């Protein structure tokens, strides 16, 4: 079945360093790849997404890259700040009955230390 | 714009009891999703509605879980009877459209934290 693997499960960096989170997906028909940030006790919130016809997308300090051939995509956060500390989830969107659904990875707990 | 609303926010029940959760999506959003998020894991899709029709319920444990969206707006998710392993946060999300050519962004509600004792 459809599956998304996410690594690492935990990531600890010093403020100002970069953080990279990687995901692989199984369904080659997936065409949409969002990243969500979830702070403790709060709802997941979309931070960036990329579609299968684009290889890279950047929004200020965050960027996402997609390699369709290898079926993997990555989140890059530069100049990390303590408020970046949260759990980050990647997701892939395969078609199901003509409609997109999201398959989430297990999450990466990012800790940014001042 | 008002976000996705869910109630209750917390619920504690004994195993074998029943429980129901309610979700009101963002106005005008055709697609509604129910997810189960077990502690330390990513959200897992339980059921997806397009208007008032089910388009995916492949991961819904149908012997105990049921969901409806009768008028294509609000939705309820029910568990009967509950098991210990149902303890989780139940998230509702909505999107404008769920199809290939549509806007895929999903907006999540605050969730209902269920504890089954």
Contact at CB, B100 and A100, closer than 8 angstroms: yes
Residue of B nearest to A5 (CA): B42
Q: Do you know the residue count of chain B?
A: 117
Q: Please report residues of A whose CB lies closer than 8 A to that of B102.
A: 100
Q: Do you know the residue count of chain A?
A: 114
Task: Tell me what pLDDT residue B70 has.
Answer: 82
Quick one: which of A34, A54, A53, A55 has its CA closest to A103? A34
Q: How many CB atoms lie within 10 A of CB B22?
A: 15
Per-residue pLDDT of B54-86, as tens digits, reads 989 999 999 999 999 988 899 999 999 999 999
Per-residue pLDDT of A52-70, as tens digits, reads 888 999 999 999 999 999 9
Helix (H, G, I), strand (E, B) or coil at A83: helix
Q: How far apart are CA A52 and CA A66, in angstroms?
A: 8
Calculate the average pLDDT of chain A. Answer: 93
Q: Please report residues of B whose CB lies closer than 8 A to that of A106.
A: 40-42
Helix (H, G, I), strand (E, B) or coil at B61: coil
- The b-or-e profile of B29-50 (16+ CB within 10 A means b, else e) is bbbbbbbbbeeeebbbbbbbbb
Per-residue pLDDT of A82-96, as tens digits, reads 999 999 999 998 876
**With 60 as the cut, is the pLDDT of residue A104 above it?**
yes
Task: Show the CA angle centred on residue B95, arms to residues B109 and A97, nearest 5°.
Answer: 120
- Give the closest-approach CA distance of B81 to chain A in angstroms: 26
- Best of A44, A46, A86, A108 to mutate (most B CBs within 10 Å, chain B): A44
Task: Tell me what pLDDT residue B96 has.
Answer: 86
Give kind and range of the element (H or E) at residue A62.
strand A62-67
- Give the closest-approach CA distance of B110 to chain A in angstroms: 5
Q: Please report residues of A whose CB lies closer than 8 A to that of B42.
A: 4, 6, 89, 91, 104-107
Mean of pLDDT values over B1-5: 84
List residues of chain A with CB under 8 Å from any CB of chain B: 4, 6, 31-32, 34, 36, 42-46, 49, 89, 91, 93, 95-107
Report residue B33: phi and psi, to 5°: -125, 145
Sign of CA dihedral A30, A88, B41, B57: negative
**With 90 as the cut, is the pLDDT of residue A101 above it?**
no
Per-residue pLDDT of B86-98, as tens digits, reads 999 999 999 987 6
Q: Please report residues of A whose CB lies closer than 8 A to that of B44.
A: 104
């Amino acid at each position: 079945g459809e599956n998304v693997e996410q690594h690492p499960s935990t990531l600890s960096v010093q403020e100002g360093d970069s953080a990279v989170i990687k995901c692989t997906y199984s369904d080659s028909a997936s065409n949409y790849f969002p990243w969500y940030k979830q702070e403790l006790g709060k709802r997941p919130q979309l931070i960036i997404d990329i579609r299968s016809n684009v290889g890279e997308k950047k929004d200020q300090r965050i960027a996402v890259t997609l390699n369709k051939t290898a079926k993997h995509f990555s989140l890059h956060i530069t100049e990390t700040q303590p408020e970046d500390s949260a759990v980050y989830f990647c997701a892939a969107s395969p078609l199901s009955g003509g409609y997109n659904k999201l398959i989430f990875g297990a999450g990466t707990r990012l800790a940014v230390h001042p | 714009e008002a976000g996705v609303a869910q109630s209750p926010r917390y619920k504690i029940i004994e195993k074998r009891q029943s429980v129901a959760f309610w979700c009101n999506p963002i106005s005008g959003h055709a697609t509604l999703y129910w997810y189960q998020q077990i502690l330390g894991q990513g959200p897992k899709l339980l059921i997806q509605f397009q208007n008032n029709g089910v388009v995916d319920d492949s991961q819904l444990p149908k012997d105990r879980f049921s969901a409806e969206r009768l008028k294509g707006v609000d939705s309820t998710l029910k568990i009967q009877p509950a098991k210990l392993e149902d303890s989780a946060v139940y998230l509702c999300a909505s999107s404008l459209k769920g199809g290939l050519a549509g806007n895929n962004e999903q907006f999540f509600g605050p969730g209902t934290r269920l504890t089954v004792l």
